[in-house]
Amino acid sequence: MSLGSAINTAVSALNAQSQAISMISDNISNSSTVGYKATTASFSSLVTQNYNSSAYASGGVSVTDNRNIGLQGLIQSSTVSTNLALDGGGFFVVAQLGKNGQEDFAYTRNGEFSPDKDGYLKSLSGQYCLMGYRVDADGEPLNGDVHNVDNLTPIDVDIVSGLAKASSTVELTAGLPADAAVGDTVSLDVEFYDSLGVAHSTTLTWEKTGANAWEMTVGNATDPDDSSIVTGTSTGGPFAITFDSDGNLDTVSPSPMALTFTGMSSGASDVNLTLDIEDEGALTQYASDDGVIELQLDGLDVDGAKYGAYTSVEVSKDGLVTAYFDNGLTLPIYKIPVATFTNPNGLQALSDNVFIPSVASGDYILRDAGEGSAGLVRGSSVETSTVDIADEFSRMIIAQQAYSAASKVVTTADEMIDTLMSAIR
């Protein structure tokens, strides 16, 4: 019956436009959601077999949702250093944390991460944790296959609460007094740090042994505030030093000048220092000022650092997470990989703006940021929603008009049926 098929067709239109309005509503609701991908309605006609050319059989319309997950939104700066955005393709790997570690891996473009009370970088809802892999001080993976999500670990920015650095090099620029008598001595106190960040002091003593010749000895490590308290035993030296007739350094034996301190009272490992005086002009021998026999110190630089507390992290464009400490030291702690898919638009959407793989999307491929189709990581940034409010309002007006027209078809067909029934009666 033609009127019946007209009503069915109109009902299919009402249903399709209702779903289109739902998609528009979802888009407008998430217009400020970080990393959200807008959904659009795609309509297709339904055709029934028409075996009689004199009678038309209407079919109707069906609707499917279409989400361009691979479309990138604008990247905005953020004041939160752990907010991240991907400039290019790919997804962050996230997981829900269960009693047995990470569970339920998912993928997202929403990089609105912030540390929870335990230091884990969590999504805004707190449901998902950002995943990465541990690296050494050079930013290289510590262990495991970093191309498998099962070997990733939740990123914990509090994993290193503090950091110290043992001293290893002493750079000295100074002049020894050429007018000193054989047997005269000059000295210099040098402060350095062990591997636990504890400060120690040692005394370098030069004794003139002949014309243009000196011998340097190294004292034990002591407390910087009380030289009577020995904190480590010196095993380096003595060192024989000679100068040419123009006051320039000639020979050092043994070379390089290795200063070693063992048995540190702090419990730290042995401290191995190298005294760097062999660069041109670093250590010279000239007459003293006003006949005062003393070391003319022009520069002293000792590396290393005392213990410093963790302050913040920064994420570089290659996904390297670096911790900063209040003593000026930095330490790479994690690397954030980027997951790519053959067909990202085939991913299945879940709540919290995350996706999981499907047959249509294919399986993930873990890459370093910037490798292949994987985008770069932008720290202190977020990716905005791909929703265009003006476009959504235009779609809403069109859907509203189509819905009203379809409802008018139902009303008209109903009135025609009433007319037909009245004629029969």
Look up the CATH number of the domain holding residue 225. 2.60.98.20
Residue 411 burial (CB count, 10 A): 11
Same domain, yes or no, for 109 and 148? yes
Based on the domain organization, do 374 and 414 belong to the same domain?
Answer: no
Does 162 have pLDDT greater than 60?
yes
pLDDT-based confidence at 62, cuts 50/70/90?
confident
Same domain, 335 and 371: yes
SS3 category, 266: coil
Confidence of residue 414 (pLDDT cuts 50, 70, 90): confident
pLDDT at 52: 61
Domain end call among 303, 322, 346: 303
Q: How many domains, the chain?
A: 3
Its domain, for residue 216, covers: 167-303
Contact 340, 373 (CB under 8 A): yes
Indicate if 58 and 182 belong to the same structural domain: no
Same domain, 191 and 85: no
DSSP 36-81: ---EEEEEEEE------TTS----EEEEEEEE-TT----EEE-S-T
Q: Which residue has the higher pLDDT, 182 or 3?
A: 182
Average of per-residue pLDDT across 60-69: 87
Q: Decide if pLDDT at 51 tops 60.
A: no
**Which residue, of 303, 327, 352, is where some domain finishes?**
303
Cα–Cα–Cα angle for 108, 331, 338, nearest 5°?
A: 20
Cβ-proximal residues to 374 (8 Å cutoff; 6+ apart), any chain: 88, 89, 90, 338, 340, 367, 368
Q: Which of 381, 208, 204, 372 is nearest to 302 (CA)?
A: 204
Is residue 283 domain-shared with residue 216, that is, in the same domain? yes
Least confident of 101-110, 231-240, 284-293, 358-367: 101-110
Are residue 52 and residue 176 in the same domain, yes or no?
no
Q: Collapsing DSSP states into helix, strand and coil, what is residue 132?
A: strand
Asked which of 286, 303, 320 is the last residue of a domain, the reply is: 303
H or E, element range at 151: none
H or E element at residue 228 = strand 226-234
**Do 54 and 103 fall within a single domain?**
no
Q: What pTM was computed for the model? A: 0.78
Residues 141 and 32 in one domain: no
Per-residue pLDDT at 425: 63
Tell whether the torsion through CA atoms of 122, 123, 127 and 132 is positive or negative: negative
Helix (H) or strand (E) holding 2: helix 2-29
- Per residue in 195-215, is it b (16+ CB within 10 Å) or e — as a string? bebbbbbbbbbbbbeeebbbb
**What is the rounded CA–CA span in Å between residue 132 and residue 327?**
26
Helix, strand, coil content of the chain in percent (nearest 5): 15, 45, 40
Structure token pair of residue 270: 């042995």
155 & 254 share domain: no
Q: What is the mean pLDDT of residues 81-109?
A: 86
SS3 424: helix
Alpha carbon 201 to its chain centroid, in Å, reads: 38
Rounded Cα distance, 217 and 55, in Å: 113
Q: In angstroms, how far is CA 15 from the centroid of its own chain? A: 45
Domain match, 298 and 198 both: yes
Please report which confidence band the pLDDT of residue 166 belongs to, taking 50, 70 and 90 as the band edges.
Answer: very high
Question: Of the ranges 259-273, 370-384, 409-423, which one carries the lowest mean pLDDT score?
Answer: 409-423
Q: Which residues pair with 44 in a beta bridge?
A: 62
Residue carrying structure tokens 């955005």: 85
Is the sign of the CA dihedral 387, 390, 391, 395 positive or negative?
positive
235 and 290 belong to one structural domain = yes
**How much of the chain exceeds pLDDT 70, in percent?**
96
Q: Using CA of residue 77, residue 81, residue 82, residue 87, what is the dihedral sign?
A: positive
